[in-house]
Amino acid sequence: MKILANDGIAPIGKQQLEAAGFTVVTETVPQNELIQTINNENYVALLVRSATTVRKDLIDACPDLKLIGRGGVGMDNIDVAYAKEKGLHVINTPASSSQSVAEMVMAHLFGAVRFLYDANRTMPVNGATEFKTLKKKYAKGVELRGKTLGIIGFGRIGQATASYALGCGMNVIYTDPFAEKATVNVTVGGQKIAIELTSSSKEEVLAKADFVSLHVPKLNQPAIGIEEFAIMKDGVIIVNAARGGVVDEDALITNLNSGKVAHAALDVFENEPTPREDLLKHPKISLTPHIGAATLEAQDRIGEELASQIKALLL
């Protein structure tokens, strides 16, 4: 049986599938050629990440396809319900990338409060001639310890982010209608400490948080828009490592320009892979190209989890 990993798969996942008798192809097929390729090559499984979409037209046009796999958490690029209606297996790897995304959020937070995102742009250009000026400019950073992180969405990634933040001495509040109470394990010196947290209203979290981190799927409307920004503290910092469209980008720029939002950190964008230029060039935004889950460790876990599920379902 042949599997097309159109957005790639970690070598360990490919090895495990091939050891089980599958043929795994990792060459990327353009979206407009995908249907023809799947049918001509008799692929029974299609593995994607965020680059490839799997919509009704592909599902209808590929009757021999048995499984669609998403290497990662979010599945908004797949018509999941329709695929299941048609009898296809649809799988993802929700547990594999939580730590990696959480560390990305914390990296953005540390970079924001100490102006690393800006200093790393400016120092190579002006560091030799304006060192004292830049030293003064970047000497107004703050510490994360003692500040409040508000988390919107408290699934695996939200909880992993909370664990890191608590370990840094931050206060953590969250809102999630599906997780009224949660236990977050914080590892300190090799020992696990269980912290009990209770969900608050979205409005309360937004009003109290010094930092806001988004960990929700993309829905019909942004989770953070004009009304939500109005509730936040002046000088709030916001991080979106969830999905493009979770934050209203127009409202974000308006609030950055007004000073209501001191800084934004974005790993995801509405118009991927061509984000809008005013976001990319805004002086108060730090940027990464949707790499929250892209660590070597996470890719190995994703590959292994995909391989395990595929073997269980197709053999």
Which residues does the annotation mark as catalytic?
A: 243, 272, 290
- Cα separation, 253 vs 55, in Å, equals 32
Q: Please list the residues that pair with 287 across neighbouring strands.
A: 266
Tell how strand 181-188 and strand 191-198 pair up. Answer: antiparallel
Picking from 205, 166, 168, 170, the residue whose alpha carbon sits closest to that of residue 185 is 166
What is the SS3 string spanning 172-210?
Answer: EEEECCCCCEEEEEEEECCEEEEEEEECCCHHHHHHHCC
- Cα separation, 72 vs 99, in Å, equals 12
Say if CB 210 and CB 147 are below 8 A apart. yes
Cβ partners under 8 Å of residue 203, min gap 6? 231
Q: How many CB atoms lie within 10 A of CB 165?
A: 26
